[in-house]
Amino acid sequence: MTPKIRAQGLSFYYGAVRALHDISVEILPNLVTAFIGPSGCGKSTFLRTLNRMNDIIPGTRVEGRVFIDDADIYRPGVDVVALRRRVGMVFQKSNPFPKSIFDNVAYGLRVNGMAGSRSELAGRVEESLRQAALWDEVKDRLHESALALSGGQQQRLCIARALAVRPEILLMDEPASALDPIATQRIEELVYELKKAYTIVIVTHNMQQAARVSDHTAFFWLGRLVEYDRTDKIFTNPAEKLTEDYVTGRFG
């Protein structure tokens, strides 16, 4: 299978601090890839290099290359705005816009000139909300504020919002870390559904979650990629002693 995302010797600096050391990894399409590791290991930073979200933090610098479909996203002249439409992102803390549920989902379509006619727009909003398994809960109050939703619903709204612009890749940065177990389960079921159509990369603190939802797992430690393999291999028979110590809960 041709990889969807390929990082090559990627290093990342916050000012003088080197947060990522020479990461090389290939992420396959239509699978869920989990990034695990202790806090500060660089897994979120790496995730954010994949849609150049780190660009908005002043004083940061990237070395190395990241290819998506064989095109380097860090080459000069890349349209970062178009890149971010193709590579969607869901954040750790749900961040719905202080607008209506409908407008939250429609926003990405509007700013990308994908809104079309009124009924087309409404259709896309409905489709996205259904994909995110939120439609039935909100269909009667689409024009009420998104901030009135529960935490789990807000996070699924953020997923719907990301899906609306039809990305190819969905990056999820600890999407369930602030949610209760039932809401978490719903997000995990959703991830399982979505991988049929998307390439999903999920950062998680929770090793059971990585084991449940992912096909491949990458273990990061102190800004380095220690081991990357099939999830069952990482959790049952890792090659590195450090990985084994982490997944068995000896540190982290």
Partner 1 sequence: MRGRALDRAFQVLALLVLCLALAALGALIADVWRDGAARLSWDFLTGFPSRRAENAGIWHALTGSIFVIVVTAALAVPIGVGAAIYLEEYGTRSVAARVIEINIANLAAVPSIIYGLLGLGLFVRALAMGRSVLAGASTLALLVLPVIILSTREALRAVPPSIREGSYALGATKWQTVWYQVLPVAMPGILTGTILALSRAIGETAPLITIGALTFVAFAPDGLWSPFTVLPIQIFNWVSRPQPGFQVNAAAAILVLLALLLTMNAAAIWLRDRYQKKLR
Q: Is 82 helix (H, G, I), strand (E, B) or coil?
A: helix
Alpha-helical runs (H) found in the chain: 43-49, 80-86, 101-111, 118-131, 135-138, 151-164, 181-194, 207-213, 231-236, 241-247
Q: Rounded to the nearest whole angstrom, what is the least distance from the CB of residue 142 to partner 1 in the complex?
A: 16
Torsion of CA 16, 93, 133, 204, to 10 degrees: 50
**Residue 161 or 186: which CB sits closer to partner 1?**
161
Distances (CA, A) of 151 to 73, 171, 187: 33, 19, 12
Residues in the chain: 252
Q: Rounded to the nearest whole angstrom, what is the least distance from the CB of residue 224 to partner 1 in the complex?
A: 26
Q: Is 236 helix (H, G, I), strand (E, B) or coil?
A: helix
Q: For binding to partner 1 (CB under 8 A), which residues are involved? A: 51, 53, 56, 58, 81-86, 88-89, 91, 93, 95-98, 107-108, 110-112, 145, 147, 158, 161-162, 165
Q: Rounded to the nearest whole angstrom, what is the least distance from the CB of residue 45 to partner 1 in the complex?
A: 14
Structure tokens belonging to residue 21: 């050391």
Q: Rounded to the nearest whole angstrom, what is the least distance from the CB of residue 178 to partner 1 in the complex?
A: 12
Q: Rounded to the nearest whole angstrom, what is the least distance from the CB of residue 156 to partner 1 in the complex?
A: 14
**Residue 151 or 252: which CB sits closer to partner 1?**
151
**Residue 56 or 182: which CB sits closer to partner 1?**
56
d(CA 5, CA 39): 24
**Residue 164 or 187: which CB sits closer to partner 1?**
164
**Residue 165 or 183: which CB sits closer to partner 1?**
165
Backbone φ, ψ for residue 43 (5° rounding): -65, -40
